[in-house]
Structure 1
């Protein structure tokens, strides 16, 4: 008896997604597993990672590991999401002190924050910029780009009199994806982003967004 194709597709998709722990003890165990995955990924090619190797490194029973992570790709997705949450916190801290300036300066400041995070976290940089073999990692990064674009638009609307455009989230997300691609093309094998890579990404982002945003936008009253 054969499973329907849709059921097979769902089963395959489930193997790429981590399960969320509900209890504090389970969350602590998942954190320990992700810590071990982070250490392993820092010292060996991502493609060489395996669940048995990770279970041994984390000091947890294989059955416990499989309960939360049905595949090594699911582990990497969870690791990327944890890093994304840390990056989000860095961005929020930046926004607390960032002067309004221009939209171009705001774009550059947020990009610089992301660059610094990539350079401080080479495992993250490699996973999001260099691991094209894992489609679920790209999907997780795309989801995060969408969230960042929505946050960027929220910030811009709070600070500037924005043009009437039907959907600015999409071009903002595209601009971020363009920047990521430039970083991937011009960064070294560890994902370090050179000054040239950063400047090229800013040229591309600002040039692209200039199709949707005017050169200057008036500040809203009270915007710092």
Structure 2
């Protein structure tokens, strides 16, 4: 129905008056609230998305989901107010960031030790089946058949579980290098290096969970630090291992040079794992060639073997050259040339 002209004008003139009145009313309410010592009313729409509390928050942590707190600009257009996780501007609270890098809480006795081992076994099984990013603490608890609260007690985050698994990897790798070596297989220092490298390669290839954490880049900073400690242990004892069976020359800063040699090997293996998911024979050969070529800058191609090695080779015996062993029982200084 068409309105007369005067009614149309009156309607149009009344619109800004109503809008202004509504605005004044909201401001008046805010002033009254401040005057009474009360909290001023918030905007018409929520400018801050509430984060989950209580049980919902704990379940997010158990599933490995980060807890976000979203802040939306009230002046932004609706195209910027998409609540999808890919488009919102989310900031993680500092406390959550610190917990993400928290260390595992290893027990020392009794039932806790058994439950801790079961959780590590469950983590390793899941890593064999799925990518590390797809695993959460809730899945680890379900696989180990333990209450989720127990998982959270030992591992604040799934990254902490990966750190614990990296520590187990270090211990098992040291056990591998404690295995005796047939003395007849070691004629040069290059032979010993290839034996050590092949043992490590076969160990990692037969344990995909360790391969993903150490060389796949999924373990995080703390797991990488565990590997760095192991690498430093290898580098520190490498000179003494060689000097036990060969007459080694004097090398300045041997720890640094052996650490660089090990770093060359690890870098090539990391490329192989990222491209093929394993350490291939081709990349193994390339890594040993590069590492030995660097070591030749400081070690002569031929080193005189000690009588300790020659006697063991003639008798068809074996020798033990652990990286964390005690050489008091067979010190090369007490043997003849």
TM over 0.5: yes
SS of 1:222's equivalent? helix
Deviates more, 1:98-107 or 1:45-54: 98-107
Whether contact under 8 Å (1:126, 1:190) holds in the other structure is: no
Identify the structure with the greater helix proportion.
Answer: 1
The answer to whether the aligner puts 1:129 opposite 2:215 as a matched pair is yes
Residue 52 to residue 27, structure 1, CA distance change in 2 (3 Å):
same
CA-to-partner distance for each residue in 1:160-215, whole Å, 9 max, x for gaps? 11121232122212212211110121246663222210110011110111122121
Structure 2: distance between partners of 1:96 and 1:21 = 35
- CA radius of gyration, larger in: 2
Residue 162 to residue 13, structure 1, CA distance change in 2 (3 Å):
farther
- Give the paired residue count: 215
> Residues 42-121 of structure 1 correspond to what in structure 2 (within 5 A)?
42-93=128-179, 95-99=180-184, 100-121=186-207
SS of 2:249's equivalent? coil
Residue 174 to residue 24, structure 1, CA distance change in 2 (3 Å):
farther
Whether contact under 8 Å (2:214, 2:227) holds in the other structure is: yes
SS of 1:16's equivalent? coil
Structure 2: distance between partners of 1:133 and 1:175 = 23
Structure 2: distance between partners of 1:57 and 1:132 = 20
The answer to whether the aligner puts 1:145 opposite 2:231 as a matched pair is yes
Structure 2: distance between partners of 1:38 and 1:133 = 13
Whether contact under 8 Å (2:159, 2:219) holds in the other structure is: no
- Counterpart for residue 285 of structure 2: 199
- Counterpart for residue 254 of structure 2: 168
CA-to-partner distance for each residue in 1:23-70, whole Å, 9 max, x for gaps? 032111110000000111111110122222212221222222222212
Measure how far apart 1:96 and its partner are: 4.2
Q: With the length of structure 2 as denominator, give the TM-score of the two structures.
A: 0.59
Structure 2: distance between partners of 1:104 and 1:176 = 14
Find 1:37's aligned residue among 118, 123, 140. Answer: 123
Which 5+ residue runs of structure 1 have no aligned equivalent?
Answer: 1-7
* Structure with greater contact order relative to length (CA < 8 Å, sep ≥ 6): 1
Root-mean-square deviation over aligned CA pairs? 2.2
Spell out structure 1 runs of 4+ moving beyond 4 A. Answer: none
Q: With the length of structure 1 as denominator, give the TM-score of the two structures.
A: 0.86
